[in-house]
């Protein structure tokens, strides 16, 4: 019983910590798309 209480306590602490990071963190959203554009081939000199 003591073990379960401790495990639940640790879990609750971890959840609190993660929630804090989630709400207060400043990491922002990582880029979701790469920056691709059409290839510019040099004009044929002829």
Q: How far is the CB of 19 from other proteins (least distance, A)?
A: 23
CB of 22 to other proteins, least distance (A): 17
Q: How many CA atoms lie within 13 A of 22 on its CB side?
A: 6
Which one of 1-9, 13-21, 22-30 is the stretch in contact with other proteins (CB under 8 A)?
Answer: 22-30
Here the tokens at position 20 are 């804090």
Residue 25 makes contact with other proteins by CB under 8 A: no
Closest CA to 13 of 39, 21, 25: 21
The contact set with other proteins (CB under 8 A) reads: 28-42, 44
């Amino acid at each position: 019983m003591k073990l379960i209480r401790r495990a639940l306590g640790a879990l609750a602490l971890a959840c609190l910590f993660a929630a804090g990071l989630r709400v207060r963190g400043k990491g922002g959203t990582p880029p979701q798309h790469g920056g691709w554009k059409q290839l510019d081939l040099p004009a044929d000199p002829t």
